[in-house]
Each structure stands twice: as structure tokens, then as C-alpha cells.
Chain A
Amino acid sequence: MEFLGLYNYWVFAVLLMTGMYAVISRTNLIKKLIGMTIFQAAVFLLYISMDKVEGGTAPIIQADLPGQLYSNPLPQVLILTAIVVGIATLSLGLAIVVRISEAYGTIEEDEIREMDGE
């Protein structure tokens, strides 16, 4: 039973590190951006897992059911904002990758470093 109560958080840990692994070990810039997306999604999972209440339902108040338990609406508001901000940063990152590709001809990080003469 311990397992079921904590499974969400373990999946969060694994996803977080999978995304981080993609960011730090892959040299392709688009792969790094996708890894960042996975990292963000893991954080969303953590917050939304915290908002669930046993026996609750989505926080839309129905007037004809007075004794109903509702799940916590506050993390949902935070994550709604975070999802849209995540896609804004993803699109900016992709625009920068496109410009880098046009300037250097490649999107592999080590080749770009070599061309810059580091």
C-alpha cells in the first residue's frame, strides 16, 4: 500500500532524471530541448499529484451536492500557467536553434564548439 501511495512521486523522480539525462548527455540541440520538456512535465506531475484528495472530484462546485469533497484547486492554477509558459520558452528555444543551424550549418553542440575555435 505504501507503493501505491508513493508511486506517483517515484515516477516523478525517474522522469525528472530522464529529462535531465537528455539535457546533459546528448549533443543535439533539439534533443536537449525535448529533454527540457520532459523535465518540465515531471515537475507538473509532482504538483498535480499533490492536489488529489481521496474521494474528491474536480474542483467544479456543483450546487446540488452539498457534501462533496473537492480536490485542491491551487496547484492546478499554478500548473496551468506553467504549461503555457513552458511552450513559450520551447518556441523561443526552437527559434534560436533554427538560427544557429542557419549560421553554423549544424545543430550538434560539439561541432559548433569546434567551429567557434574553443
Chain B
Amino acid sequence: MELVLDFASWVLLLTGGAFVFIGGIGALRMPDFYTRMHAASLTDTLGTILVLLGIILQAGVSLAAVKLAAIMVFLLLTCPTAAYALANAARLARLAPERRVRDE
């Protein structure tokens, strides 16, 4: 049982780290503000939640696990809201999304 929990937590931590890394690459390589926001916010939220789940599995049943779960709920609420607020602010400042014509 210990081994299964350990293995599961390692898988979760590595996957979460991979998602955050992909988000970082996306934030650098995407051509436009809105696509960069999309890349950074989605992957960061998921990555953080996976990392926190991995740490909860490591912590076992304890007060620390409850606190980590509370942090997870808080992040689940606020990360997408922050992304929405940024994109909305850009829209209100009349930053137009880049349009590319696909050559046939």
C-alpha cells in the first residue's frame, strides 16, 4: 500500500511539473497575447492541482493534508478568475487578437 501511494504521488508530481513546463514553453512561443494567456493559465492551474494532489498523497491523513486541500480549492477558484480578468482587461484596452490568413 505504501509503495502504491508513493508511486502514485511520484506520477502526479512529475505530471504536474511537466504541465507547468509545457505552459512555460507555450507562454514564450505563442504568437499573440490571448494564445499566450490560454497556454499559461490552463496548464498552470492543472499543474498546480496535480502537484498539490501528489503532496497530499505524501502527507497521508493529517492536518497538513486538510490545509493542502484548502489551498487546492482556493487555487482552483482564483487561477481561472485571474486569467479571465487579464484577458478581459486586454479586451477592454482594445488589444485585438492577431488574425492570420491561411494561404491555400
- The answer on direct contact between A and B (beta carbons under 8 Å) is no
List residues of A whose CB falls within 8 A of some B CB. Answer: none
